[in-house]
Amino acid sequence: MSAADENLALAQTQARAAKARLDETVGALRDRVDPRTIARHAADGLREQGEVAAAVAQRNPGVVAAILTAAGVLLIRRPMMALFRRKKKSVPHITRKGAKGYPQ
């Protein structure tokens, strides 16, 4: 076998290895961008965060109650303000003769 044939065989072997690595990388990328995979990772992350939040809430129930109360007050602040707002006394409007719309 000549040196050129050996170089060609080596190049073909390297090309096959590179193609196999590329196919593996493309397969991994397809798996990462698959909507089901993304949704599964998001759901796992939310579940973990929920577990952490639940543990914190169990350790600090007073703080959680205060936060929920503050959020509730923020949500119903306008109706509460309307309950306690003073209504202005209505004063009848007195018109003078010669005022706009009335003949002199």
Q: Is residue 11 part of a domain?
A: yes
pLDDT value of position 97: 59
DSSP state of 102: S
Q: Is residue 52 part of a domain?
A: yes
Q: Is residue 25 part of a domain?
A: yes
Q: Is residue 100 part of a domain?
A: no
Q: Is residue 86 part of a domain?
A: no
Alpha helices in 1-104, H assignment, sequence order: 3-33, 35-59, 61-75, 77-84
Q: Is residue 98 part of a domain?
A: no
Q: pTM score > 0.75 for this model?
A: no
Q: Is residue 89 part of a domain?
A: no
Range of the domain at 42: 3-77
Count of domains observed in the chain: 1
Per-position pLDDT tens, the chain of length 104: 688 888 999 999 999 999 999 999 999 999 889 999 999 999 999 999 999 999 999 999 999 999 999 999 999 988 888 888 877 666 566 655 555 655 55
